[in-house]
């Protein structure tokens, strides 16, 4: 998800020159994928490692809502496997229909994700093993909420058949947004309402700000129709949905993240959970502690490369 609403922060406006320097990484193949019965198109980017490997692809869901994939492009250099990104409807390189024409909601985004996976299977970018699509699923911040809902929502993805991944990674993801908003208010109060200090303490502790993060927030790049934590303020993972997920889950957290341990407590109810706290990092642990983060993530993916998901 994007940074919570805090008072204006002087000096942290996106540097357009730095953002421009991180256009799409070399070798990232662009695709246009249809969703909503072909009424809209989403941008997707597919990266193959320079040295071909048998590792399964990782499908990446970005946060926000409404902050495109650019800040997660460093996963390309971190992992020796195919990585697939897509920009959700309304932001980045994807279509931006008016809310009067298309629905913006978690449920609608779940359906979009289902259609993205179906299109990637049709393109051969998600392979098949033993008759099942074989891939790993990753969500950062709001992207983790989207991935979790797509795998557990009784009224959503399960009715249209989202194939279960070999694993799910939840990076910096709250299990309760109401708890998150309470904790953000408390953290901000501890800093006397200083938005700049909140940003460098709990959002991204790397100075200067990483170019990939600047690129994601470059003027005109984030969405405007449906964006930020306030639009999902009531969401929380229900006990029923937590109990229904039977794939291995890696929960990655930053020591200083505004997504606090309390706001992530619900994930402890997952049947197959591994939690790793990245020391010294905040909400953008991938960019702040890339070596520690990447090693932990790749080890987990390799461990579950041959794991076959259990269907209900």
Segments making up each domain of the chain, as ranges: 16-303
Q: Is 3.40.50.1820 the CATH classification of the domain at 16-303?
A: yes
The answer to whether the bond into 65 is cis (omega within 30° of 0) is: yes
The predicted pLDDT at position 160 comes to 53
Q: 198-230 in b/e burial notation, b at 16+ Cβ within 10 A? A: bbbbbbbbeeebbbbbbbbbbeebbbebbbbbe
State residue 237 phi and psi, 5-degree precision.
Answer: -80, 125
The predicted pLDDT at position 16 comes to 41
Residues contacting 136, CB < 8 A, separation 6+ = 56, 57, 58, 59, 165, 166, 167, 168, 169, 301, 304
Pairing mode of beta strands 249-254, 273-278: parallel
The predicted pLDDT at position 155 comes to 45
pTM score, two decimals?
A: 0.92
User: E-strand spans in 89-176?
Assistant: 128-129, 132-133, 136-140, 168-171
The predicted pLDDT at position 11 comes to 40
Q: How far apart are CA 101 and CA 293, in angstroms?
A: 40
**CA–CA–CA angle 230, 233, 239 (5° rounding):** 155
Query: What is the sign, positive or negative, of the torsion defined by CA atoms of 61, 207, 47, 138?
Result: negative
| Residues of the chain where predicted confidence (pLDDT) is lower than 50 | 7-21, 155-158
Residue of 94, 7, 112, 66 whose CA lies nearest to 230: 66
Q: How far apart are CA 66 and CA 73, in angstroms?
A: 16
Burial label for 63, CB within 10 Å (0-12, 13-18, 19+), is buried
- The pLDDT tens digits for 159-211 are 556 899 999 999 999 999 999 999 999 999 999 999 999 999 999 999 999 99
């Amino acid at each position: 998800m994007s940074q919570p609403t805090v008072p204006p922060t002087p000096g942290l406006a996106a540097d357009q020159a730095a953002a421009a320097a991180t256009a799409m990484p070399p070798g990232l193949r662009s695709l246009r994928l249809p969703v909503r019965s072909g009424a809209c198109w989403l941008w997707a980017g597919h990266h193959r490692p320079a040295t071909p490997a048998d590792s399964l692809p990782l499908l990446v869901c970005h946060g926000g809502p409404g902050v495109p994939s650019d800040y997660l492009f460093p996963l390309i250099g971190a992992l020796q496997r195919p990585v697939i990104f897509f920009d959700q409807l309304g932001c980045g390189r994807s279509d931006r229909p008016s809310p009067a024409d298309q629905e913006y909601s978690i449920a609608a985004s779940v359906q979009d994700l289902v259609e993205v996976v179906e299109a990637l299977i049709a393109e051969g970018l998600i392979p098949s093993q033993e008759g099942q699509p074989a891939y790993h699923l990753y969500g950062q911040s709001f992207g983790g909420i989207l991935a979790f809902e797509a795998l557990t929502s009784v009224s959503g993805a399960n009715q249209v058949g989202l194939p279960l991944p070999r694993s799910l990674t939840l990076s910096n993801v709250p299990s309760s947004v109401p708890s998150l908003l309470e904790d953000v208010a408390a953290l901000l109060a501890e800093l006397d309402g200083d938005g700049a200090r909140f940003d460098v303490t709990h959002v991204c502790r790397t100075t200067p700000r990483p170019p990939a993060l600047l690129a994601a927030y470059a003027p005109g790049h984030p969405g405007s129709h449906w964006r930020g934590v306030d639009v999902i303020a009531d969401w929380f993972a229900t006990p029923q949905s937590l109990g229904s997920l039977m794939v291995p889950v890696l929960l990655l957290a930053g020591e200083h993240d505004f997504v606090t341990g309390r706001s992530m407590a619900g994930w402890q109810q997952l049947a197959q959970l591994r939690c790793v706290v990245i020391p010294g990092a905040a909400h953008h642990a991938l960019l702040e502690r890339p070596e520690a983060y990447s090693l932990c993530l790749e080890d987990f993916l390799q461990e579950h490369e041959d794991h076959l998901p259990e269907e209900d």
